[in-house]
Amino acid sequence: MKYETKVLEIGSNAKDMLQTGLLILFNNSAPKDLKPYCLITQENRHEGKVKPGDTLAINKQDYIITAIGENANENLYDLGHVSLCFDGSETAKLPGHMHLTPYLSNDLMSIETIKIF
pLDDT at 19: 87
pLDDT averages per 10-residue partition of the chain, 117 residues: 94 91 94 96 86 95 97 94 97 97 81 94
CA dihedral 78, 6, 110, 37 (to 10 degrees): -30
Segment holding 27, helix H or strand E: strand 22-27
Residue 2 · residue 48 · CB < 8 Å: yes
pLDDT at 96: 97
pLDDT at 75: 95
- Nearest alpha carbon to residue 8 among 117, 114, 99: 114
pLDDT at 106: 65
pLDDT at 98: 98
Domains of the chain: 3-116 (2.40.33.40)
Three-state DSSP class for residue 13: coil
